[in-house]
Structure 1
Amino acid sequence: MTYQTNLNLKATDFALLFFRIALALMMLVHGIPKLLTLFGDAEIQFADPMGLGMTASLALAVFAEVICSILLLLGLGTRLAAIPLIITMLVAILIVHVPDGWGRQELPTLYAVCYVVLLLTGPGKYSLDHIFLKNKKSKIA
């Protein structure tokens, strides 16, 4: 049975739950220090790759890495929450870490690929998205 290719939806939904939670927790490790910096007393020193200002750039990164990661964790608005995370990782890959080479681009590339997977698959059955959609469908019927 190990080598069968039939799709097991229950296992897939559990894998998506595990994937979402692990990915969100890993990104929160990057986002929470940025959140503390944003609301801390120290002067903000952050990359400003788009010319928005360091504070605005940091706020956008915090929104993606903290708020959107929490939404992924809950499976709430998963596909929409993945979009700012993808954009943030693309900025890191294509602008911020270009001079640093592949060694510094590898991690944001891996995150971006994972977020694209969630954008394409959605959160799976074990999510608030599924619960709310199920309730909405039952009210319509």
Structure 2
Amino acid sequence: MLKRFLKPIKLPASADFGILILRVGISCLMLTHGYAKLSGYLGGDSSFADPIGIGEELSKILTILAEFGCSILLILGLFTRAALIPLIITMIVVVFIVHGPDPFAEKEHAISFLITYLTLFFTGPGKYSIDNKLYR
């Protein structure tokens, strides 16, 4: 079951190349958000919003793991679908809780990430990924 979940879907070469660009591009964009939070945390700043009531520090750590750690996995195409789950959850929290009452313009950035992550979740990592080598 786990192998089937992680196994990439067979696609045409042009689609695989498009998925590679999408996967790496969106991950590099998210890395900037995660790196800023990681740098602040390592510098001693553990203050952060607590949108789901688990504590500021734990919220920040989980967000860093998703935005930084999972983005690195996504760039590599390693455990792609599993890495996308924390990213999708993080963007759902941002869209519906953190920016829930805000106008659409405030949510638009997070919605763009969410749509991309959902698309990658359903397409898989593509041919140009470590997952493809591991789960052929």
Same fold (TM over 0.5): yes
Say if 2:40 is the partner of 1:37: yes
Gaps of 5+ in 2: 1-10
Q: Could you tell me how far 1:51 is from its partner in structure 2?
A: 1.0
Q: Share of identical aligned residues, percent?
A: 44
C-alpha distance in 2 between matches for 1:101 and 1:46: 22
* Aligned with residue 84 of structure 1, among 83, 86, 93: 86
* Aligned with residue 98 of structure 2, among 80, 83, 96: 96
Cα distance per residue 1:69-90 (max 9 Å; x no partner)? 0000000011111110000000
SS in 2 for 1:36: helix
Match of 1:117 in 2: 119
SS in 1 for 2:52: coil
SS in 2 for 1:67: helix
Match of 2:110 in 1: 108
SS in 1 for 2:102: coil
Q: Could you tell me how far 1:99 is from its partner in structure 2?
A: 3.1
C-alpha distance in 1 between matches for 2:25 and 2:111: 16
Alignment of 1:1-141 (within 5 A): 9-42=12-45, 44-134=46-136
Bigger RCO of structures 1 and 2 (CA < 8 A, at least 6 apart): 2
Gaps of 5+ in 1: 1-7, 135-141
| Higher Cα Rg, which structure | 1
C-alpha distance in 2 between matches for 1:124 and 1:75: 8
What is the CA RMSD across the aligned residues, in angstroms?
1.1
C-alpha distance in 2 between matches for 1:110 and 1:41: 31
Runs of 4+ aligned residues of structure 1 deviating over 6 Å after TM superposition are none
Letter of the 2:89 partner, please give it. I
